[in-house]
Structure 1
């Protein structure tokens, strides 16, 4: 099973590389993690320092907004379907 690291650990490791001027391979060895993993963390952090390590199951703000909008669309479509069925039932009863 893969090791799991929290946001603080990842940020600390990235800052050792970026601010401390240490090499990725040496830092990875020191922290007992894969150099590939640390390199990916550094790359992610450079792209988006604020939302770089959102965590498992957590979405970036823009992804969360998109998910919420899609949920809203689905809910409204379901409401419309229910109302259409109700209209059909009421129209039958009036005849």
Structure 2
């Protein structure tokens, strides 16, 4: 005989996703505790999870973040260079005083 498929309302799904996000247990452990298939929980997580300060990522957001990271990495390299130049200048000026 086939398994009986359970249907869950949106409120239950959202509460479950929030509960999962608050846990330190793995999805398989929670699936066993909640008696809901792990695949179903993963699907719910990908569709309904929300972060307090971070919007769900889409491809455009990821591209923007990658551009921002690349820009910040270039800025860091420039700043490291400037620091090295300033250190050399300080060394030169300290020699002239003595």
State the TM bucket, normalised to the shorter chain: 0.3 to 0.5
Query: TM-score, normalising length from structure 1?
Result: 0.43
Structure-2-length-normalised TM-score:
0.42
Q: Which has the greater radius of gyration?
A: 2
